[in-house]
Each structure stands twice: as structure tokens, then as C-alpha cells.
Amino acid sequence: MGFDLNRVWQDPSPWAHPELFATKSQVLNLDKDPTFDLDFYIDIHAHSTMMNGFMYGNIYEDSNRYERQAIFPKLLCSNADDFSMSNTSFNRDAVKAGTGRRTLGGSLDEKCHCYTLEVSFFSYQPSGFNHPIPYTEEEYMKLGRNLARTFLDYYKLQNYIVFNPSAAIMPKLNNSAGFTSYRSSSILTNTSANGALLGGNNLNGKGKRSSSNNGQQLKPICSSSMSINNGHSSSSMSNGSQSNNMPNSANESKPKFFVDNGLE
């Protein structure tokens, strides 16, 4: 019908935009469900002009919320050599008001982080490389695994996941030398959701690349700043030490995710 489906999230029509209408209703219902914690909404897109993977986020008046949302992209940058923090930006441009990220960012609970994840149609260029590397199906899948790995890292920081070294994977220590041996334990988490399932047994997506990189070691594209645009002026946020303004979620219920595939 000629609609840009990522510009009508504010008031989707059940007859003209049935997919958006159903998705928005589902997300809002999950947000109101007292038995369900919605921590992330991620809209996944392909970008036709820029290289690498990167994120768009929102600008909020609450400075603590604004700083908290910068943590996840930084963690993703440390896990994925094709993710660019310099291309990552936080904005409230008027032309993006009808996107899923902007609309739901203003409608969902303040602890829910809303992002757009953009990935190039064509290629990425890791730090230290003077030429782009074409994306393949496997490269896209690896970014997905690194996204899941980043959720693991994030929830470890939030104390959702309790990790103790397991005797099954740790070497036995010599008790006679005065050391205490490790107790067997497990990682406790629940990453299931009505919207999507993020996770799996293989969370290490940073496998070795083929010889096409000429023996160079891939490095994450973590620059010293990321773009912040409030629609009127531009400034930068330092990519230095991690903020300590993260909420303590140790006593909250299990994490949930909602992932949408669309176009921004």
C-alpha cells in the first residue's frame, strides 16, 4: 500500500499495518504483565549506505536512564569486531518520531532499553584494516551470536546470572598446598520470551577468521566517542570507564527480550 512501516508506529492501523498493530499490542501487553519483565526492545535493520554494525538509541530527560542505555552498545562493541561505536548514535530527530524505537521508548517502562540494530548490506571494516570485508551469511550469524553473548555479559553485570567456577571445567587444585578446591555449580538464567529466544549453547561468536585477513588480528571498532544528537546540536559521550549508575536487579524477576525485524 506504499506505507513506510517504520514511520507509523505511533498509530498503526489494524487493517493497513496489521503486523505493526499486532506487534505493538503484544509489546505493550508484555510491559503491563506483572509476571513479565521486558528489559530490551531491539529493532533489527539492514543499512544501505554505512558499513559495519551499529545502534541507534533514544535521548531521555532522565540522565540516569540515558547513561544506562549506553552500556549495552559498549559491551557489544567489545564482543563484535564488526560493531562500530563511532557510528552508534542517540537521537530524537523529528523524522524518526514514528519509528518503533522512538515510539516504544516513550511508551514502555523506563527500565526497558529500546534500540535499533543496523547492519550493513555490504561490508564491515575492523580497526586496523585499510579495506572493507564483505559480509557473508556466516558473518551475519556471528554477529547474532555476539549479540547473545552480550546479553550474557550484561546480565552478569546486573547479577541476574550467578557464575561460580565449575569443577567440571576448572583444574583441581592441590588441597595439601593450602588451596580450596572449586565446587561444582551451574549458570542460572532464563532467556525465553514470547517475542524471541536469544541465547544458546554456543555464545562464543568470535571464532577465528579465514586466512583472508592476511594474518592480521581483528580488533573491535570501539572508538573513543559516539554520536549524540538531540535534533538541534551535536556532542559526544566518552567511551571510557563504565558508568556506575546501573540499577541493582538482583531481586528482580527473570530477564526477557523482544526483537523485531523491520526497517528504520
118 tagged catalytic = yes
Across residues 53-57, what is the average pLDDT? 98
Query: In the chain, how long is the greatest CA-to-CA distance?
Result: 76
Task: For residue range 95-154, list pLDDT tens digits in order.
Answer: 999 999 999 999 999 999 999 999 999 999 998 899 999 999 999 999 999 999 999 999
Is the per-residue pLDDT at 179 higher than 50?
Answer: no
Burial 83-119 (b: 16+ CB within 10 A, else e): bbbbbbbbbbeeebebbbbbbbbebbeeebbbbbbbb
Give the model's confidence band at 251: pLDDT under 50 very low, under 70 low, under 90 confident, else very high. Answer: very low
Question: Between 2.30.29, 3.90.1720, 2.60.40, 3.40.630, what CATH number should domain 18-208+218-261 receive?
Answer: 3.40.630
Pairwise CA distance, residues 57 & 52, whole Å: 17
Is the per-residue pLDDT at 255 higher than 50?
Answer: no
Q: Are strands 113-120 and 53-58 parallel, antiparallel or unpaired?
A: antiparallel
Lowest mean pLDDT among 7-16, 42-51, 159-168: 159-168
Residue 102: C-alpha distances to residues 97, 114, 135 (Å): 6, 8, 28
Pairwise CA distance, residues 217 & 135, whole Å: 18
* Catalytic site residue from 110, 118, 139, 264: 118
Neighbours of 188 (CB within 10 A): 10
Q: What is the pLDDT of residue 2?
A: 80
For the chain, the structural domain boundaries read 18-208+218-261
Neighbours of 171 (CB within 10 A): 9
Across residues 167-186, what is the average pLDDT? 43
Neighbours of 13 (CB within 10 A): 12
* 65 contacts: CB under 8 Å, gap ≥ 6: 110
Give the DSSP H/E element, type plus range, for residue 104.
Answer: helix 100-105
Please give the distance of CA 88 from its chain centroid, rounded to a whole number.
11
